[in-house]
Amino acid sequence: MHILLQEGEKTPKQKGDVIVIATFTNRATLTYSGGTLVSNTVTGTVNETLTLEKHALNATYDETSRIVYLISLKNTGVTALSGITLTDDLGGYVFEGNTVYPLAFNEGSIAYYINGELQADPTVTQGPPFTVEGLSLPAGANALLVYETLVSAFAPLDEGATITNTVTATAALTEPGSASETVTAAGGPRLSITKSLTPQNVGEDGRITYSFLIENRGNADAVATDDIVIRDTFDPILSQIAVTLDGETLTEGEGYTYNETTGEFLTVSGVVTVPAATYEQNPDGSYRVTPGVALLTVSGTL
């Protein structure tokens, strides 16, 4: 991902690098005997080469992801470049007339290297957008900027959704140039499980119910081939158990197995499935996630 930075009249040759070209003109005056002569105008160009690349260490993301970006700068010219400013738009897009940002800069995460040597932290404005100011790059030098972003509530999560964010570089004698990187929402289910007990206070030989709530915040159903198994060992051991899944009774052997000697319980692989989450964008542009759920209950006598 290369960019072209140019100024003035130019006809650059692209060879995978960024050509920075500034045209300058000059003329002289000659005074004598009270008169003035003006020379012809000479024209020259200053040619510098600056390569800007952007890479993400993450190919995919979900709502909890931290995405690390690498910004590479290379000055293959013969003079130093100073006053370089980098601006990352953090994937900002317009929603309902307002710009929202699916990424947020993780404060304190930046590291800056020149020719492999760690430098003092540059001047950073967290934004959004996120900016790094006052960078200088000696002739022939390579710079690497590393920083981390957090996925925000404004990031789309549907299967196939993407975040494209762009870094723009400005420097003396150049027009802005940019490089972009795209990451894709991770596909598949993303499950969690919560266990609860009712009642919490029960007498000897009383009956209790364990509930297992399985939530899917991913953008795909968890299906039989995902081989979901819920396993637990009840202590104290339960007897005369009854098992339901989403309100439907499961039968021993077909839906679950249970050992009344050890208290070990497990569902048969593939019996439990969980629908995908749904995502709805709020009026402010943030996303509301409604997890898909499955509820398993096991009731038994102490």
Of the two residues 236 and 1, the one the predictor is more confident about is 236
Q: Is residue 291 part of a domain?
A: yes
* Residue 247 counted as domain residue: yes
Are residues 199 and 148 located together in one domain of the fold? Answer: no
Q: Which domain holds residue 230?
A: 191-301
Instruction: Give a yes or no: residue 2 inside a domain.
Output: no
Tens-digit pLDDT profile for residues 16-44: 244 444 566 788 888 877 778 888 887 76
* Residue 264 is assigned to a structural domain of this protein: yes
The CATH number of the domain holding residue 126 is 2.60.40.740
Residues 247 and 150 placed together within one structural domain of the fold: no
111 and 164 together in one domain = yes
pLDDT digits (tens, 9 = 90+) for 191-220: 999 999 999 887 777 899 999 999 999 999
Q: Look up residue 193 and give its DSSP letter.
A: E
In a domain, 9, yes or no: no
Short-list 21, 28, 26, 24, CA closest to 7: 21
- Given 116, 150, 185, the domain boundary residue is 185
Residue linked to tokens 């980098």:
86
Backbone angles phi, psi at 299, to 5 degrees: -110, 145
Whole-structure pTM value: 0.78
Q: Is residue 93 part of a domain?
A: yes
* Domain closes at, from 185, 210, 229: 185
Q: What percent of the chain has pLDDT over 90?
A: 71
The CATH number covering residue 247 comes to 2.60.40
Q: Are residues 84 and 127 in the same domain?
A: yes
Are 67 and 153 members of one domain?
yes
Domain count, the chain: 2
Token pair, residue 9, equals: 């009249």
Lowest average pLDDT, out of 16-20, 240-244, 247-251, goes to 16-20
Specify the pairing of strand 177-185 against strand 93-95: unpaired
- Of 160, 185, 210, the domain-final residue: 185
Q: Based on the domain organization, do 72 and 178 belong to the same domain?
A: yes
Phi, psi of 162 (to 5 degrees): -135, 160
Residues 178 and 56 reside in one and the same domain: yes
- 85 and 129 together in one domain: yes
